[in-house]
Structure 1
Amino acid sequence: MKRVLVAVVAGGALVLTGTPALAGPTLGPYGYGAVRLGMSAKRAAATGAVVLKMRAGEGSCSGWDFRAHPTGRDSVGLYISKKRGVAVIFAAKGVRTPRGIGIGSTMKQVKKAYPALRIPRDGDPYVVVPGNPKAHYSFGASAKGRIEALALVHVEQDCVS
């Protein structure tokens, strides 16, 4: 973790203290920024952080983008379920978990950060989010073992398979 030195002049004496610097945007354990897992579409939109990209239509989920992280034409930044609220939040480049894992991390780094990682025969590796048993991180890795996709997922989501 980066550390920042803060200088304070107190009664003519210079005092230096080390404090952790913000490491950048963090995904989890309950959401990203003001957007939280389980939050309704109305409440998520009210944060001003997201914009509707794809209406639910016949499906149960609508697709949204974060204003700060717009996605390409055929993708979304998060899904919001009619039943469950915010169900899946995808990490944008530069966004990391509290343990420092993000797009570009290696599977070796993921396993070290999350020793309880589960690797199913079919599907992406995942782990229950430390501090939130109602969510898990899902890691999409390349054939070379680099993380290409990272999502914070509500365990009862009904948007993606």
Structure 2
Amino acid sequence: MKKMLVALLTGGMLVTGTPALATTAKPALGPYGYGPVRLGMSATKARATGKIVRKLPAGAGSCSGWDLKAHPSGKDRVGLYISRKVGVAVILAQKGMKTPQGIGLGSSASQVRKAYPKAKVSPSGFTYTAVPGNAKAYYAFLYSKGKVRELAFGLDRQDCVN
């Protein structure tokens, strides 16, 4: 890459140098996964990304609980579930994670409605919508005081959570 001379006149000073390289964008929660961890990916392949750590073995159930190393979920919680049957089944948003439409924990209900105008409310009270760009996945939102308290991103056919 050619070096470019950049001059910036600020407060009477001339500063020269090479421009900063573009920073790596933060991964988005969707439409197919979070960074290299993809919905439907087997536990073996997900572990091979080096981005997750097991917190809860599958035991008698069909799903194991994991965390994204960059976004630990805290005590007595998990950040994603991996199903023996369907692979990475659900990724639960943690602080700092956002959908490609900019929705994350703390977003307002009106921001969710604007980003996902086709979202519906289930009989149990959570808001859900198809993931734009991935017809096999959904987002589910739970609110507290009008703000997103929980955000789940999962496969329609997941078998880990209700």
If the length of structure 2 is used for normalisation, what is the TM-score? 0.84
| Matched AA of 1:40 | S
Aligned residue number for residue 37 of structure 1: 39
| 1:26-105 equivalent positions in 2, closer than 5 A | 26-105=28-107
Deviations 1:10-61 (A, max 9, x none): 9xxxxxxxxx976633100000010000000000000000011100000000
The structure having more radius of gyration, on CA atoms, is 2
Aligned residue number for residue 117 of structure 1: 119
Deviations 1:55-96 (A, max 9, x none): 000000000011111122210010000000000001111111
Aligned residue number for residue 129 of structure 2: 127
Q: Tell me how far 1:123 sits from its aligned partner.
A: 4.0
| 1:129-148 equivalent positions in 2, closer than 5 A | 129-142=131-144, 144-148=145-149
Q: Tell me how far 1:140 sits from its aligned partner.
A: 1.1
Aligned residues: percent identity?
A: 57
| Matched AA of 2:157 | E
Q: CA RMSD for the aligned pairs?
A: 2.1
2:120 counterpart SS class: coil
In 1, Cα distance between the equivalents of 2:52 and 2:28?
A: 16
Aligned residue number for residue 12 of structure 2: none
Aligned residue number for residue 160 of structure 2: 159
| Matched AA of 1:53 | K
Q: Given that residues 25 and 94 in structure 1 are in contact (C-alpha distance below 8 angstroms), is that contact kept between their aligned partners in structure 2?
A: no
Q: Tell me how far 1:121 sits from its aligned partner.
A: 2.0
If the length of structure 1 is used for normalisation, what is the TM-score? 0.85
The runs of at least 4 aligned residues of structure 1 exceeding 4 Å deviation read 7-10, 20-23
